[in-house]
Amino acid sequence: MTRGLKLRKVGGSIGATLPKDMADRLHLEAGDSMLAVETERGILLTPYDPDIEESMAIAANVSRKYRNALRELAK
């Protein structure tokens, strides 16, 4: 879905306001963090953070490897 956004001055910065229905569909709330990625075609706004994704993959591997030890520690 493509929607137009209005840019507004916020302090010394410029902010974009997302329509409520779009924010609801994407499960975004005030205070959430987003990344602004400059691409050849413009700006991509995304809640996806590749660093977090990498950290989650590492955590999943650790939990699989030490599954039994973690179960014992949880008792």
Instruction: Give the pLDDT confidence of 19-66 residue by residue, as tens digits.
Output: 899 889 989 998 888 888 899 999 888 877 777 777 878 888 888 899
Rounded to whole angstroms, what are the CA distances from 21 to 24, 28, 36, 45, 65? 5, 10, 20, 16, 42
Confidence at residue 59, expressed as pLDDT on a 0 to 100 scale: 86
Q: What domain range is 43 assigned to? A: 6-74
Residue 63 lies in a domain: yes
Overall number of domains in the chain: 1
Rounded to whole angstroms, what are the CA distances from 36 to 16, 42, 45, 47? 11, 10, 5, 9
Interior angle at CA 21, CA 45 and CA 32, nearest 5 = 45
Can you tell me the distance from the alpha carbon of 23 to that of 17, in angstroms, rounded to the nearest whole number?
10
Residue 1 lies in a domain: no
